[in-house]
Every structure is written in C-alpha cells, then in structure tokens.
Structure 1
Amino acid sequence: MDLARRMLAGDRRALARLITLVDDGDPGVADVMREIHPHTGKAHVIGLTGPPGAGKSTLVWALASAYRRRGRQVGIVAIDPTSPFSGGAVLGDRVRMPQDAPSGVFFRSMASRGQLGGTSRSVRGVVHLLDSFGKDVVLIETVGAGQSDVAVRSLAHTTVVVSVPGLGDDIQMLKAGILEIADVYVVNKADREGADRTAAQLASMIEVGRESALAVGQQPDEGWIPPIVRTVALKGENVDQLADALDAHRAYLLQSGRWEHIVRSQAEAELEEALLVRLEQVLAASSVASQKEHLISDIAARKLDAYQAADALLAMLRARA
C-alpha cells in the first residue's frame, strides 16, 4: 500500500491518514499491518491510567517533554469518551494539545467507541503505526473511567497508575483492581495537602498486596517493587524522576526476560482481536447476516438460547468452508 510505504519513509501526513483508516476500521487495514509488521517491536509502550481529575493529560505532555530532552521520539495516543452524536472523541486534538507542546511529538486523540477497559479497539493498530514510524516511546492515556481502565495492561509494556490527593477514591481504586496493574505509581499534584497521606496509602496497599499474594501461595515479583513518584506535572516537578523510573522498568523487563513474556501475551491478545474482526466480517456477509437476523429473532422469542444460535451459525460457516 502506497500510504504504508510513504509512512515508513517518514511521511507524517501518511501516518495521520493511516491512523484515520485504522480508527475507522477500513478493510485495507490488514494489508497495512502486514506491511509494517516487520518494522514494529522497538518502541517502549507506556500506559497511563487513573481517575478523572488526576492530571493525566498534563502529566503525559510533561513526560513527553522530558523524553524529548533526552532525544527520544515520542508518540501520544489519548483515548477520550465517545460523542453520542458524532461517534468521535469528545475532546479533540486541539483541545488536548498544549500551546507549548514540544516538537517531535506525534499526538492523536481517539474515541473509546464504548469499549470497556478505557481504550479504543483500534489503539493497538495505532501503536504499531507509531512504532514502525520510528517513535521510541508511545504514551497511551486512557479515558479515566476508573474500574474499566485495566485493559491498557494488554497494550503497554509499562503501566502507570496516577493518583492525586483529595479525590477520595484511593479505596475505590483498590476495589476496582486498578492498583494491581501498576508498574509505577504516581501521586500527581503533590504540592497539595494530603500528598503524604496518599503516598503512604499507596505504599501500604502495595505491601498488603504482596502479603496477600504470599498468603494464597503466589510469589510476588521480587525483582521489581513499583516505585511511588510524586509529581507536580503543571510545574514539571519530578517528571524527570518519573522518566527515570519508567526507563528503569524497561531495563528490568529486558534483563529479566519479562519483556518477551509481555510481548507474547500481547501477541495472544492481538490474535484474539484479529479473529474477532475476521468473524465479524464473515457474519456481515449477506447470506450469513440474514440467517443471523433469524436467529436473533428466535432468541428474542425464546425459541433458542444464545448458545444454540451460536452453534447454528458456526455449523453454517463450517458448511460453507
């Protein structure tokens, strides 16, 4: 595909166009992924999640600036809530991008399209595009939906959970399981009252989690204890310290062999996603779609249950093969 070749040659407009095609689910996306696949696998993908109001967007841009000062090429994917009217991202590129945005950063906001997990279904493809374009670091900012933001773990090598003093949702995050996915914890807006308490709560929760794992016979990862970094992203305070922690985690993953384990897990998730896409395409074929509509009616009329209907569709697909 000509766009893919132009993008691999460094054409930013071609990259932007390809991201749009991926986000729209264009039928030619599979050919694009096939062409760029050998050029992927180099970028450090970092996911940032946490409650709304934690300052994730400001932190992402401060972190991008820190990496640019280190000579890294940076890509940013910001996942936003979906507009119920247009189907697009509620917050657009120009709203999210600061006026003093660093050069050498490619930014794109995307709609979550109602996907659970705080991420858009097409994010993985966009990450591959940014990776093949030569970005050393790709930052993914999730929608900040709280409990469902754990899906970023299947996209990122390193996951950052951002908290903030005064929101009162530390316990809720613990219940939701968000804290368990973090490789690095951030207490942002650390110049506020209550920052010490929030950091202490996080440290206590980390220790409780390790003890709980041991109690049920699980062995916690002794090679990496998630650090707690206090930042004031608006002022750029301690953002370099956060970048150091993220680089240290990447080095740990590579040295311990965990990097390969994560890549394999991500490949498994990607294969499952591709299988679902192919199945949806097959089910959209006219003859199958007609039978599917009849089966839906039978389920609604209580003539069949969903599993019986699924078996009937699969039998039809096998007969067509």
Structure 2
Amino acid sequence: MSEEDLLKKFRSGDVRALARAITLVERRDPSIRRLEEMLRQDARVPGVVGFTGAPGTGKSTLVDSVVALLRKNGQSVAVLATDPNSPFTGGAILGDRIRMQRHALDTKVFIRSMGARGHLGGLSLATREAIRLLGAFGFDEVILETVGVGQSELEVAAMADTTIVVLTPNLGDSVQMIKAGILEIADVFDVNKADLDGHTRVMTELRAMLSLAPKAGWKPPILATVASRQEGIEQLWDAVLAHRRHLEKSGQAQALTEQRLRDETAEVAAELARRRAREALDKDPELAKRLFDDRTPYRTAEEILDRKR
C-alpha cells in the first residue's frame, strides 16, 4: 500500500489503515514520519488512561468493563495492551483481545496488543506515536494496559493522563506494590475482585500509606470494583474524570503535555543516535578497528556524533 493510499484510507476511517500505520510505528519504518507530518492537521488529543498492576489482578476484565461503559456513554475507545516481554520476536500478548471479544464487531472500539518488534527500549516511543495516530483517527479515549512488570509500569505512567493501579485481596500484592514504589505513580487505586475476602484490609493498608504522603495536591482515591459483574465501574470512571479536572484546574495538564514532548524528543534523539552509530561502525572499518583495539565506546560514540552528516 502506497503512502498516499494509506493516508486516504486512514482519513476515510478504514480501521485496516490504522492497524497498518501502527504496525509501521512498531517496526520503526521511516515512512511513518511522513504520514505523521501529513496527519498533523487532523491532530486531536484523546484522553489517555493507564491500567497497571500485578498479573492476576483482573486488569483485562476491568478494562473490558470500562470500554463497555464508555460505549454506553457514546464515546469511542482504543485499547493498547503493551507487551515488553519479547523484544526479539516481536510477539505481543493476545489474551487481552480474546477477553474483549464482545467488542469485536464494534467499529468504535479498537484493540491492539503492542510489542517492541525487535527494538529494545522501543516500546515506549512506539506507544506514544500510536496514541497520536489514534487521536488523529478520531478516538475519544485511549486505554493503556501493561502486563505489570517493572519498567513498563513507569512507562505507562509517563504516557497516561491518569494512572490506575489495580490490586486484589488474594495475591498479597498490596505490600508488593508499595515496595515497588507504585504509590508514586498512582492517581487512582482500584481494589478489584472486591467480592473476595480481604478487600477491606487492602483498602485500609492503602489509606494508612497515603496518610503518610505529602498533604498538598491530588489525593489518589481508593475504590473497589468487581469488574466481572460491572460493579463499581462508573465510580472508577468518575474518579478518572475528577483527576482530569484537577489537572486542568491546577495547570498540570499543560505541564504534562510539555514534559511528554520533551521525553519523546529525547527518545527520538537517542534512537537516531543509535542508528547513526550502527551505520558508522558498519560502513567504516577503520573506526570499528579502533573501537575493537582501544575498547573506548564512549570516545567512539562522541566521534560519531561529532561527524557532519
């Protein structure tokens, strides 16, 4: 498909063109730059909500329930399930899409699992660009779901307007989350599977921890849901909207937008620098030999970056 055809189909609302564009983003295909330039006039900023938490907390069921609520309210929604686990094969988790099959025929719902496609560290940048494409396509809301391991949680928090940390009573994960520093990225806490014994204990522990946090600014609410029965979902979304109003009123929304642009620019610069370094070492045997003889990667990198293009 040519760039012109892709752009035409994208603007006509062809979901296959959107999927193709996101695939190009994942592959770091240079043509996506031109497509994004042409789509700048279509730019709109969707709301972005991140769901993170340990595996087994029911994040996918929770996201599925939120999607159902948003569609009931007449909003279009895209779900990006980020999978950082397979940087070499590009394998992206499919379980999320399987669990959300009830939305499969809804043209106002787009569900995509994203992998790094062979680029270590490239998932964050690809997801940022995918969010921009989803906004240009016209989606009102974008939901990010992480498999809940390490760095991916922090990356989702850096991209989302509101980050929801999901816990459950039966995994003993409340203390684990607190130790992992997740308190610092949570805008909303949700204790899912609240029909199980122990959910009040988890909520009490969280309240105790939050009481030790600084008093100024946003206080993350602690909510309970039973996503499998659609219980508590409206209250959860109300908390998201309340957090958005807080960001706008406090001026943090604009600051977050500017910080994300700075972060993305730094990521793009790092990616371009890596590409230049690999090309230089592949094309300049003398440079490569000096590197191998002297074992000075830092000095070699500076030499590459100082070269005129």
Change (3 A) 1:309 1:139: same
Shift of 1:177: 1.4
Aligned residue number for residue 46 of structure 2: 43
- Give the TM-score, by structure 2 length: 0.89
2-structure distance, mates of 1:123, 1:193: 37
Aligned with residue 255 of structure 1, among 240, 249, 253: 249
Identity %: 41
Is the CA contact (8 Å cut-off) linking 1:77 and 1:139 kept in structure 2?
yes
Aligned residue number for residue 180 of structure 2: 176
Is the CA contact (8 Å cut-off) linking 1:89 and 1:109 kept in structure 2?
yes
Verify: 1:246 aligned to 2:256, yes or no.
no
Q: What residue ranges of structure 2 are gaps of 5+ in the alignment?
A: none
Aligned with residue 19 of structure 1, among 18, 22, 40: 22
Shift of 1:282: 2.6
Letter in 2 for 1:289: D
Aligned residue number for residue 76 of structure 1: 79
Change (3 A) 1:50 1:78: same
| CA RMSD in angstroms, aligned pairs only | 2.6
Is the CA contact (8 Å cut-off) linking 2:187 and 2:220 kept in structure 1?
yes
Shift of 1:129: 0.8
Change (3 A) 1:63 1:138: same
**SS of match in other structure, 2:149:** coil
Is the CA contact (8 Å cut-off) linking 1:292 and 1:313 kept in structure 2?
no
Aligned residue number for residue 226 of structure 1: 220
Change (3 A) 1:118 1:195: farther
Aligned residue number for residue 160 of structure 1: 164
Q: Render the CA deviation track for 1:168-189: whole Å, top value 9, x for unaligned.
A: 1222222221121011111111
Count of residues in correspondence between the two structures? 305
1-structure distance, mates of 2:285, 2:36: 30
Q: Render the CA deviation track for 1:171-230: whole Å, top value 9, x for unaligned.
A: 22222211210111111111111100111111111122226xxxxxxxx31xx2111111
2-structure distance, mates of 1:226, 1:63: 19
**SS of match in other structure, 1:108:** strand
1-structure distance, mates of 2:229, 2:22: 32
Is the CA contact (8 Å cut-off) linking 2:26 and 2:123 kept in structure 1?
no
Aligned residue number for residue 305 of structure 2: 314
Q: What residue ranges of structure 1 are gaps of 5+ in the alignment?
A: 212-219
1-structure distance, mates of 2:15, 2:165: 30
Letter in 1 for 2:167: S
Letter in 1 for 2:130: V
